[in-house]
Amino acid sequence: MNEHELMLTSMLQCERQDLYLNPLVLNSFQKKRLSQMQQRRHNGEPLQYIIGSTRFLDFDLDVDDGVLIPRPETELLVDAVLKEVATRSKDDLWILDLGTGSGNIAISLASYLPQSHVMALDISSKAIALAAKNARQHGVSNRIVFKNMCLLRFLNTGFADTKKFDIIVSNPPYIAVDHLSSLPKDVQYEPREALAAGVQGLDFIRPIIERAGRWLKTDGLLALEFADGQLPLIQEIFTWSSYYKEIMYGRDYTLTDRYVVARKC
């Protein structure tokens, strides 16, 4: 669907074909609302925020300006995790999602791995509320525990009853602060705390790699998304860590190095 069709189907709560089965006649309220949506888009606001939802893998998720909009690149991260898990027992898997946002990673893994249990953290209470709503809508809320907590604080302290995990996965903030102003206009509508990560863009990635190993079981997986151009820095961080083996890097649809999956020793 094009953007105009997406706005209409969202507003009218109908399917695309319904727009064309009969002559479309909008009432005055609907015309005004459509005009407002079009103006917001003209101003650069992401379409996903305007219609309040997005598609991630097989899931329609609610999104708003309190969460990062899930990207196709992150679908590849989830696929990579599922591929690695395919060779092991899927019973009673424990998964940690660091910086869950809309809950897209947590919900996807909980859905595709029905014997799994997920803990999903986010520093934003608004994000946690939205992610929990999305989990309920997809029938996996009974297997995801959402925690309003900074991922760095968790990595340092955990909880008294924290178990070790089979999988730790994250699409953390990874944009260098000097690059924020050069991002596309629609991306600048997204929450800064979900994007900015210090001078090199590593303020979250570095501690995740350095500290996640203590929360992983033997042969557990760490899966991370990172930014274009960060691969050499990521490789250097792994070089200094004794936690991991079988470190595998993957590319996105533009053949840009985009994610890493590492197995704990």
Reported pTM:
0.93
pLDDT, residue 122, reads: 97
Task: Work out the mean pLDDT of the chain and round it to a whole number.
Answer: 93
Question: Is the Cβ–Cβ distance between 262 and 81 less than 8 Å?
Answer: no
158: left (phi over 0), alpha (psi -120 to 50) or beta: left
Contacts of 4 (CB under 8 A, 6+ apart): none
Lowest-confidence region among 11-15, 59-63, 132-136: 11-15
How does residue 90 score in pLDDT terms, banded at 50, 70 and 90? low
The amino acid present at 161, given as its one-letter code, is D
How does residue 89 score in pLDDT terms, banded at 50, 70 and 90? low
Whose structure tokens read 């991002």? 183
pLDDT, residue 22, reads: 82
The domains of the chain, with CATH numbers, are 3-43 (no CATH), 66-264 (3.40.50.150)
Q: pLDDT exceeding 90 applies to what percent of the chain?
A: 87
d(CA 121, CA 195): 16
Residue 132 CB burial class (10 angstroms; 0-12, 13-18, ≥19): middle
Give the sign of the dihedral formed by CA 221, CA 134, CA 19, CA 30.
negative
pLDDT, residue 46, reads: 96
Average pLDDT for residues 208-232, to the nearest whole number?
94
